[in-house]
Amino acid sequence: MGITYKDEQGIQGMRTACRMAAEVLDHLTEHIKPGITTREIDRLASEHMKKQGSISATLGYQPSGYPPYPASLCTSVNHVVCHGIPNDKPLKKGDICNVDVTVIKDGWYGDTSRMFIIGDASIAARRLVSVTYDAMWHGIVQVKPGVRLGDVGWAIQKFAESHSFSVVREFCGHGIGKNFHEEPQVLHYGKPGTLEELKPGMTFTIEPMINAGRRDVKEFGNDGRTIVNKDHSLSAQWEHTVLVTDTGYEVLTLSAGSPAPPAFVKG
C-alpha cells in the first residue's frame, strides 16, 4: 500500500475521528489518579467510545503473527515503552503512564496518546514527560509541503538528545486514514533532506518514544505485545495525528482538553 492523499471529504472524516480520539483522553483525565487500575481506565474509555459513536481500533487488532489485542486502548507505565496491556495493578503516586487511544468513526481512524503524571512525580520523571512533549512538537512544526520526513525525525532526535535522552528506534509513527497503519513510516530520528517528501493531503502520526536511559528495548514476558526498556529506565511518549496542508500542517487530534502547545509553537 502506498501513501494515501486525502481529499476534502477524507480530511473531514479524519478530523472527526481524530477529535473523538482526543475527547476520549479528555474524558479519562479526571479519573487518572493514584489507585485507579489501567483496566478501569480501559473500561471507562470503552464506555465513552460507545456514547460518542466510535469504536476502538485496538480491541481485537491482530497483525500477522500476533494474538488479538485484548483491550480498547494501550497503557504504558514507567519503563514500559509502548503497547502496554491494561491490567489490575493500581497506579501509584509517582508513576507516569501513557494512554494511547485509536478510534474508528465512519471508516476513518483517529490516533493519539498523552502522558499522565500520577500524583507527585520526581523532577526527573516530570522533566522526561515535558521534554518528550516538546520533542513531538519540534517534529510537528517542521511539517509543510516540500519538507522530507528525515527533517521531522532529525528535529525530534536533535532536541531529545540535547537533553541527554535517547530516542527509541524500533517503533515509529505511521500514515493513517481508512487503515490503522499506512505508508509512510515516520521515524523519530534521521538525517535532514532524506526520506519521503511531504505533500498536501498526507495524514500521519508523530509519536516519539523517548527514554531517560539507553534507547535499547525488548519484549516483556510472553504477551507478544508489551515493550520495555532493557535498562529499566523511564520512558515517555506523546502522539498527535497531523495533516499536511497547502501551507503547513493541521494537528487533527486537538480537543478542548488537549494540553496547550509549547511556547515556541507559533500560530
Q: What count of Cα atoms within 13 Å lies in the side-chain half-sphere of residue 69?
A: 21
Mean pLDDT throughout 223-236? 90
Question: pLDDT per residue over 10-41, tens digit each?
Answer: 999 999 999 999 999 999 999 999 999 999 99
Per-residue model confidence (pLDDT) at position 225: 85
What are the two backbone dihedrals, phi and then psi, of residue 226, each rounded to the nearest 5 degrees?
A: -65, 130
Q: What is the rounded distance in angstroms from the CA atom of residue 66 to the CA atom of residue 238?
A: 24
Question: pLDDT per residue over 199-209, tens digit each?
Answer: 999 999 999 99
Sign, Cα dihedral of 262, 142, 210, 62 = positive
What average pLDDT does the structure give for the chain? 96
Domains and CATH numbers, the chain: 8-251 (3.90.230.10)
Q: What is the rounded distance in angstroms from the CA atom of residue 90 to the CA atom of residue 58?
A: 22
Per-residue model confidence (pLDDT) at position 221: 66
C-alpha cell at 90: 493500581
User: Does the structure show a pLDDT above 90 at 67?
Assistant: no
